[in-house]
Amino acid sequence: MTKEEAENGRDEMEIDGCEQREAIAIPEGFNPNYLKVFYDGKHPGCDQSYFGRREFSFTLENDIYLRFQSFYSVSELENSIREKCPVKIDIGPVYSVDPAKRRAYAQTGDNVFTPVERELIFDIDISDYDDVRYCCSGADVCLECWPLMTIAIKVIDTSLRDDFGFNHILWVYSGRRGVHCWVCDGKARRLTNEQRAAIADYFRVYMGNENSHKKVSLTGPAFHPFLARAYTDVLRNFFEMKLLSSQNLFSTEERYEKILDMIHDESVTSELRGKWQENRRSTTSKEDINVIRWEQLKSLLQSGKQKGQGLRRCIEEIVFSYTYPRLDMEVSKHMNHLLKAPFCVHPKTGRVCVPIDPNQCEEFDPTAVPTLSKLLQELNMGGLKSEVDNDWDRTSLGKSIRFFRTSFLQPLLKSCKEEIESSYNAKLQQSKNSINW
């Protein structure tokens, strides 16, 4: 695993082209530097075939897809990227055998070509929120609607860490309209499809369909603790402090009717409707009309007049409908789903798919993400001083690369090494024991 992750990390870096490698003849004889390589080199417990069994997929210009590509080394991958110049690079699972040779294996009659490891991945697209945002639609995104992505990161990230115990989680801007999440812990990579589906189900709350305005169904006398925490820690505040006003959720009849549709009590909805139609012109208060109407709705639903938990639950259902993360479930459920490699350049926007720090996701501004042309300009301005290491440090991508290496890649490598080490030692112990026996 170590090898793969190291190289996986490097292949992202690879795009920046700052890694220079060439074949160097090694003179015979002892040299203390050799020892260093020896000690830093592959652990005997390391699976040398791992990287070569990983699927890479290139998308070339004119929508030519090259699937099931595999590479024996990072330099081989680098050379192929330089040669083919793909507009997009996707990363698939690690298969049981080299994916490029899957047909040959199929002819042997053994159906051995199957995914064996894959990061647990999540894909969230702002285009799935079109019914709750009025500033943009489709692939467009602006600073008014982007915070929907920010709270999705917060809710999912917290749960992955606290409820599932995952540590090595990478969030990446997809380059245009959403975010990707890579959960890279060993136990996440080895999840079966069934286990992935169960995790996806854990996050399922959103039940949207074309015919129903009720997007969320919260059943039972109490919230699941995960949902309760998401609601009180993130969603409620975001809805009340931000989304209400930024999207003007109650500003027109069409908009508030959408919300009233989620309340299944004629007496409540007609009372509110009456108030809102009446005071449409007479409002002189400086307070935001959206906030005023939301408070009116809440106090009516919470008032003693309204019996039954179902009705009070409406408040939460409305908040969930407008704010809860909308995951593309199919992406998470199957090991063999491809996902765009981090640090790719989005072919439509030219923006680099940079990592997002979940601890500072509020500060992330998708409109400020460096584009390819900006980076080239920055490099040119700096002058190609030296071919050494840190050309990219001088660009606006430097911060992202440093974050990727120190906050994600290095801790992951460390844990992979420990995992290999301990399983290797366990095997050694086992064989010793059997000899003693």
By annotation, the residues acting in catalysis are: 55, 123, 125
Least Cβ distance, residue 143 to Zn ion (angstroms)? 7
Per CB under 5 A, does 144 bind Zn ion?
A: yes
Dihedral pair phi/psi, residue 298, rounded to 5°:
-65, -45
* Closest to Zn ion by CB, 19 or 144: 144
* Closest to Zn ion by CB, 260 or 356: 356
* Closest to Zn ion by CB, 146 or 343: 146
* Closest to Zn ion by CB, 147 or 186: 147
Q: For residue 339, give the DSSP letter.
A: E
Q: Which stretch binds Zn ion (CB under 5 A): 130-138, 274-282, 283-291, 411-419?
A: 130-138
* Closest to Zn ion by CB, 133 or 313: 133
Question: Which tokens belong to 185?
Answer: 């812990």
Per CB under 5 A, does 148 bind Zn ion?
A: no
Name which position in 66, 142, 228, 376 contacts Zn ion (CB under 5 A).
142
Cα–Cα nearest to 271, from 321, 305, 318, 309: 305
Dihedral pair phi/psi, residue 423, rounded to 5°:
-75, -30
Q: How far apart are CA 306 and CA 298, in angstroms?
A: 11
Q: Is 116 helix (H, G, I), strand (E, B) or coil?
A: strand
Q: Which stretch binds Zn ion (CB under 5 A): 35-43, 134-142, 248-256, 312-320?
A: 134-142
Site string for Zn ion, 87-126 (x = CB under 5 A): ----------------------------------------
Q: For residue 280, give the DSSP letter.
A: T
# binding residues, Zn ion (CB under 5 A): 5
Per CB under 5 A, does 378 bind Zn ion?
A: no
Cα–Cα nearest to 124, from 266, 327, 275: 327
Q: How far apart are CA 427 and CA 42, in angstroms?
A: 17
* Closest to Zn ion by CB, 46 or 136: 136
Name which position in 87, 116, 136, 372 contacts Zn ion (CB under 5 A).
136
Name which position in 100, 135, 197, 311 contacts Zn ion (CB under 5 A).
135
Q: How far apart are CA 191 and CA 426, in angstroms?
A: 22
N- to C-terminal Cα distance for the chain?
A: 32
Per CB under 5 A, does 249 bind Zn ion?
A: no
Contact between 403 and 171 (Cβ < 8 Å): no
Least Cβ distance, residue 244 to Zn ion (angstroms)? 15
Least Cβ distance, residue 129 to Zn ion (angstroms)? 9
Cα–Cα nearest to 179, from 5, 329, 349, 354: 354
Contact between 70 and 98 (Cβ < 8 Å): yes
Per CB under 5 A, does 145 bind Zn ion?
A: yes
Contact between 394 and 382 (Cβ < 8 Å): yes
Least Cβ distance, residue 197 to Zn ion (angstroms)? 32
Site string for Zn ion, 338-377 (x = CB under 5 A): ----------------------------------------
* Closest to Zn ion by CB, 326 or 333: 326
Q: How far apart are CA 211 and CA 219, in angstroms?
A: 20
Q: Which stretch binds Zn ion (CB under 5 A): 18-26, 127-135, 309-317, 326-334?
A: 127-135
99 Cβ neighbours under 8 A, 6+ residues apart = 53, 54, 55, 68, 69, 70, 92, 113
Least Cβ distance, residue 148 to Zn ion (angstroms)? 9
Contact between 377 and 173 (Cβ < 8 Å): no
Q: For residue 341, give the DSSP letter.
A: P
Query: Contact residues for Zn ion (CB under 5 A)?
Result: 135-136, 142, 144-145
